[in-house]
A and B are shown apart, each in its own frame.
Chain A
Amino acid sequence: MGNDLTEKDGALLEVRNLKKYFDTPRGPLQAVDDVSFSIERGQTLGIVGESGCGKSTLGRTILRLHEATSGEILFEGENILGYNAKRLKKLRTEMQIIFQDPYSSLNPRMTVSQAIAAPLILQGLYRKSDRAGIEARVGELMDLVGLARRFVNSYPHELDGGRRQRIGIARALSLKPKFIVCDEPVSALDVSIQAQVLNLMQDLQAELGLTYMFITHDLSVVKHISDNIVVMYLGQVVERTRPNALFEHPLHPYTKALLSAIPIPDPDVKQEKLILKGEISSPVNMGTVCRFVGRCPNCTEACRTWEYREIEAEPGHFVSCRLYGAQYPDHRKTREEFV
């Protein structure tokens, strides 16, 4: 995702300085704070972080399910924040979302067929009276996501999590979108079903040329499915780069802690655990400084006043940490002074 290429060719989606703040009695909740990245057509961007990092809010803001506070969201070059209601409705045929919870993301009173057909009717692609046409299209979509046709009149509560999630995917695909925000689509599923659904999503991407923004807290899931990864903490992007670079030499102290915290399913591998002190707080009234201050094992006094910004520490590897600041041209050398 080298910056040098994206500006020219037109990435499918480009996010610039996006902010989403919520008003709370204690001050503004800076859920998404000055986030920028872009995604090329046909690629997958993984967004990783824990509670309160803003990844879900980010996904929804990009889809305009939340209204952004400031910034730009460029879809195929056009800023969608300026769209009126009519244009926005049309946009829904190009940008879709798959939700995390297979239990609450489906209307309990709609059958599988009704749920998948709803977008088709709403967007006027099929008339409600065109039963044959709708049935055919719904059947097509069910086949595409591997959902047996015999479930066409079932209700969500009769099906297990994996099948429900397939309904959600079919629904998202029904309008033939180009871009799909996947908000923790497999987190609520059992391990063996997770693998089924992840493989399905990869296959669909290849077959339909989809572009994904894959949001998850599980770094191991995002590793093999992403072309680029963004790590977030309390509303800010702390690191972004390609998966290999991220996993082989993570730069941000938070990323390192996150990686070391994942238990490896091999009893012979003894993990070096970087246990963080303290709790994950909430990004309320935090200003523009580094939000990892206080929990960071490498934190210094100067960090508390450092103006938060992104640094390209290595080509294509961006990190927002004072340790990699411009005043340290060869970051590898000077890092040893602090570690």
Chain B
Amino acid sequence: MNPKTSPATSRARTPFEQSLKQFLKNKMAVAGLVTVLLLFGVALATIVVDLATDNAFYNNHIIEQDLMHRLAKPSMKHLFGCDEFGRDLFLRILWGTKYSLFIGIGAIILSLLLGAPFGMIAGYYGGRIDNLIMRFMDIILAVPFMLLAMAIVAALGTSTPNLLIALSVSGIARFARIARASVMTVKDNEFVEAARAIGAGDAEILLKYILPNALSPNLVQVSLGVGNSILMVAGLSYLGLGVQPPHPEWGTILTSAKIYMRDAWHISVFPGAFLVVAVIAFNLFGDGLRDALDPKLKK
């Protein structure tokens, strides 16, 4: 209501800088961010190697079978051991990072780009348009996330684009909801009326006045949703509907792992651990982002 603002001091200047400061104070969030960046680093490194060696390394070490070392336990030579085809698990897991990360993030971004505009329009105009759009979104939400994704993949096939579509459909409805809510909160501020009073049209108001101020909840949802998305990719792959073997997506590795769980614990534990770490890292980052952007916590 009446924040005690000290007269014209420039401590943290732009709203962005303020949020950054707030974020950096949160140790867990920073740890999450660092982990996420590491994962990105790994993924990028593997892509670079593949490009540089023209997939030679990939074929030799990831795909090529070596039945001599079948189900080998972790050792100095094979850090995480070998899988049922004798392939080095450590390298396989590293090479699997890019699938989880990019498909996971890609699906969320797609949901955002498709869902948020609908939500913004629904929130801004209200009335019948709002009803129409949101009831449509309700229909999407009524179908369980996983089943919907499975159905789409089953119908369209297991290529990467199809996987992205399957994973993003449910997300569209969630982002529409959040975008709508955040637009509705910002819409009632007087500065929006002020924009209208100086002659701004709807498009200008939505893009320059509402969007920048309604961004935060959407960003938070992105970072929190990535964790879930990664699990979804792994889940579909585990069921055989996602990334197909021999490609080393973490979920795909886990499919075969279950058969050998008794003799070769390492095939389930390590990919699983990476999944857990990745999801937790994104969640911590998302939590930190939300706390940093939440105006109520700003002092």
Instruction: Check whether chain A touches chain B (CB < 8 angstroms).
Output: yes
Interface residues, chain A, with chain B CB atoms under 8 Å away: 60, 63, 65, 89, 92-93, 96-97, 99-101, 103-109, 118-119, 122-123, 150-151, 154-155, 157-161, 163, 168, 171, 175, 188
Number of A-B contacts (CB under 8 A): 85
Specify the main secondary structure of chain A where it touches its partner.
Answer: loop
Q: Which of B171-228 contact A (CB under 8 A)?
A: 189-191, 193-200, 204, 209, 212-213
Indicate whether A106 sits within 8 Å of B10 (C-beta atoms), given known contacts A63-B197, A159-B5: no
Nearest B residue to A122, CB-CB = B199
Count of B residues near A, CB < 8 Å? Answer: 26
- Kindly state the separation between the CA atoms of A45 and B195 in the bound complex, as whole angstroms: 25
Interface residues, chain B, with chain A CB atoms under 8 Å away: 2-3, 5-10, 13-15, 189-191, 193-200, 204, 209, 212-213
For residue A61, give the distance in angstroms from its CB to the closest CB of chain B: 12
Q: Is the CB of A122 within 8 A of B204?
A: yes
For residue A325, give the distance in angstroms from its CB to the closest CB of chain B: 40
Q: Is the CB of A101 within 8 A of B190?
A: yes
Q: What A residues does B197 contact at CB under 8 A? A: 63, 65, 92, 96-97
- Kindly state the separation between the CA atoms of A171 and B212 in the bound complex, as whole angstroms: 20
Q: A118-B198, A151-B8 are in contact. List 13 more A-B contacts (CB 8 A).
A: A93-B199, A96-B198, A99-B190, A107-B209, A108-B15, A108-B213, A119-B199, A150-B8, A154-B8, A157-B5, A159-B5, A160-B6, A160-B7
Nearest A residue to B192, CB-CB = A107
For residue B220, give the distance in angstroms from its CB to the closest CB of chain A: 18
- Kindly state the separation between the CA atoms of A96 and B198 in the bound complex, as whole angstroms: 7
Q: What A residues does B191 contact at CB under 8 A? A: 104-108
For residue B29, give the distance in angstroms from its CB to the closest CB of chain A: 23
- Kindly state the separation between the CA atoms of A104 and B3 in the bound complex, as whole angstroms: 12
For residue A139, give the distance in angstroms from its CB to the closest CB of chain B: 17
Nearest A residue to B197, CB-CB = A97
Indicate whether A105 sits within 8 Å of B5 (C-beta atoms), given known contacts A65-B196, A122-B198, A122-B200: no
Q: Is the CB of B5 within 8 A of A118?
A: no
